[in-house]
Amino acid sequence: MRLKGRILCRGQGLKAASPVAERPMHSHILPMSILKIARMGHPVLSKVASAVKDPTAPEIRRLVADMVETMIDANGAGLAAPQVYVPLRVVVFQAPPERAPEGIDEEESYDHTAELTVLINPEIEILTEETEDGWEGCLSVPGLRGLVPRYTELIYRGVGLDGQVIERRARGFHARVVQHECDHLDGVLYPQRMDDLGELIFESEIRHRIEEDEDGDDE
């Protein structure tokens, strides 16, 4: 079913996306690096990033490997290239099964989860008017959490490191993390998506706002 929707992420030169390769086991590949993360206020976080001309280029593979290493080290759910001072349209993210709602069927569960995924030159097509508030954090806004409305269902398209097109439907947290990461490519941080800055709080105080520990990872 094709649904009309708005393109929120300015993707260009669509070719494909795929789960990122497993961490290489062989040492002929240079060791990966943990990169410094830009923080809110640095200009690289507020500019529109450029499309990647060749998603299969070795320097893009290296960038992605370092981004994955950096994201995992920082316990993040996602990371966008501008967050590591590279103004290109590249994101990595994951939506683990434990973030999906309980009691949903297998097909729906698929839409709610994503293994570690690399998307180059992504586009988002929003499939619903429905939004849901959820607590978000961001590695570029350390120490804070904010209640952010996000669309609950979308399709994303992009290119993977192998140059193949990825197209997937996403719901729930999966849709949220994709919107958050793609916003980084357009110079938007989550506080700019908030309805009420009274809901921007220190993560050390989030226990006052939610019963269970569902604040999750930084993105």
Does residue 138 touch Ni ion according to CB under 5 A?
A: yes
Nearest approach, Cβ of residue 78 and Ni ion (Å) = 7
- Do residues 156 and 124 lie in contact, with contact meaning Cβ atoms separated by under 8 Å? yes
Q: Which of 22, 181, 203, 212 is catalytic?
A: 181
Size of the site for Ni ion (CB under 5 A): 2
User: Going by C-beta distance under 8 Å and a sequence separation of 6 or more, which residues neighbour residue 27?
Assistant: none
Q: Which residue is nearest to Ni ion (CB)?
A: 138
β partners of residue 195? none
Report which of 53, 9, 14 is spatially closest to residue 170, judged by C-alpha positions. Answer: 9
Stretch that binds Ni ion, among 33-41, 135-143, 158-166, 203-211 (CB under 5 A): 135-143
Query: Which stretches within the chain are classed as H helix?
Result: 58-73, 106-112, 172-185
Nearest approach, Cβ of residue 106 and Ni ion (Å) = 30
Does residue 136 touch Ni ion according to CB under 5 A?
A: no
Does residue 123 touch Ni ion according to CB under 5 A?
A: no
Does residue 84 touch Ni ion according to CB under 5 A?
A: no
Does residue 217 touch Ni ion according to CB under 5 A?
A: no
Nearest approach, Cβ of residue 140 and Ni ion (Å) = 5
- Report the alpha-carbon distance of residue 44 to residue 152 in Å, rounded: 28
Nearest approach, Cβ of residue 98 and Ni ion (Å) = 20
- Do residues 73 and 34 lie in contact, with contact meaning Cβ atoms separated by under 8 Å? yes
Please confirm, yes or no, whether 115 is among the known catalytic residues. no
Instruction: Write the single-letter amino acid at 103.
Output: G
- Report the alpha-carbon distance of residue 144 to residue 151 in Å, rounded: 22
Return residues touching Ni ion (CB under 5 A): 138, 219
> Which residues participate in catalysis according to the annotation?
181
